[in-house]
Amino acid sequence: MDFELTEELKMLKDMAYKFAQQEFTAFIHECDVEEKYTRDIVKKAAENGLVGAWAPEEYGGAEAGSLGVAIITEQLSRVDMGIGLNIVVATFGCEAIYQYGTEEQKKKYISAVCSGEMISAGAYTEPDAGTDVSGYRTRAVKDGSDYVINGNKMFITNASVADFFVVQCITNPDEKRHNRFSMIIVPSDTKGVTTNKIHGKLGIRASDTAEISFEDVRVPQENLVGKEGRGFYQLMHFFDTTRPMVAAQGLGLSQACLAASIKYAGERNVFGAPLGSYQLTQAKLTEMAIRIEALRGLVYKAAWLIDEGRPDYTLAAMAKYFGGETAVFCANAALEIHGGYGYIGPEILPRCQDP
């Protein structure tokens, strides 16, 4: 077994982190407070091959595979999850186009997103159905050579900034439950499309999240992705293969929490000694480090197996679950180590030393 990254992946890892440090840092607070989407940064990331890195070179991607995307996500999330997410999911929905779409669709949409010219969104979740994919109600009805779409989508990433959506719709209502759905590409400027940005999220506010309403939205049937009635299975494949990327967000955030905590514990004096010299603090830092290392193993292996053509979707699900658990644990531990300053924010930390 070889746990060493290739030279190409090592370079990608370093480049992604340096890019995030250089491009994110000045905007993190502003984008979080003002809930500001960072399209200019996404464009710069695309110029550096960080957008759609999973895609083949013929469509403008870096052909870095699932492991490459996981590493990029990890490194961007170490600096800021919100801005980093804007880069990683700028292609949201294009994965289905690549797997099942026509050559014309791939060249038109994937290439434009990888170059930073467009932003895509996967319009899946609905107000009454999230994980229950077979409970979606948005309907697409054939009318001549078009589909006419009616329905609502909720909590859609990139929705109010996207140039097009890949929409999960019911196209075959008389079929069995899992055979009723299809994916259809809908340009965001199509008549009848309305988006409503969601404000006041508890975190990741630089990432755009919105509701989409479709009212008699008419698109040509050539916008169908793959075969009609296969949308459910296409979406399940999308979820299965992108879970390592989601887990990598938690991995990057956890590393940031640990790094900040180690730094603070070495600088903060409590009762005449560094905070890090106390056993309770050491125990928290140790458990953070252990969880991070375990999570990295899950994420990298799940992503690597996908690239090897031997995907283990149970392992990918484990990685996603443990990614969330680890991120929450490390964030809580970091907050406890930083005490009151962890609750206030990083801009006040330079004043925290005891006289």
Please tell me whether residues 251 and 299 are part of one structural domain: yes
Average pLDDT over residues 15-27: 97
The CATH number for 254's domain is 1.20.140.10
pLDDT for res 132: 87
> Would 85 be classed as within a structural domain?
yes
pLDDT tens per residue, range 72-86: 999 999 999 999 999
pLDDT tens per residue, range 39-71: 999 999 999 999 999 999 999 999 999 999 999
pLDDT for res 177: 87
Range of the domain at 271: 233-345
From 93, 114, 135, the end of a domain falls on 114
C-alpha span between 353 and 274 (Å, rounded): 10
> Would 350 be classed as within a structural domain?
no
Choose among 336, 204, 201: nearest CA to 257: 336
The CATH number for 176's domain is 2.40.110.10
> Would 353 be classed as within a structural domain?
no
Torsion, CA 325, CA 133, CA 182, CA 105, rounded to 10:
-10
pLDDT tens per residue, range 138-164: 999 999 999 999 999 999 999 999 999
The CATH number for 107's domain is 1.10.540.10
From 185, 210, 229, the end of a domain falls on 229
Please tell me whether residues 62 and 17 are part of one structural domain: yes
Q: How many domains does the chain have?
A: 3
The yes-or-no verdict on residue 348 having pLDDT over 80 is: no
* Backbone angles phi and psi of 185, in degrees to 5: -85, 130
pLDDT tier, 343 (very low <50, low <70, confident <90, very high otherwise): confident
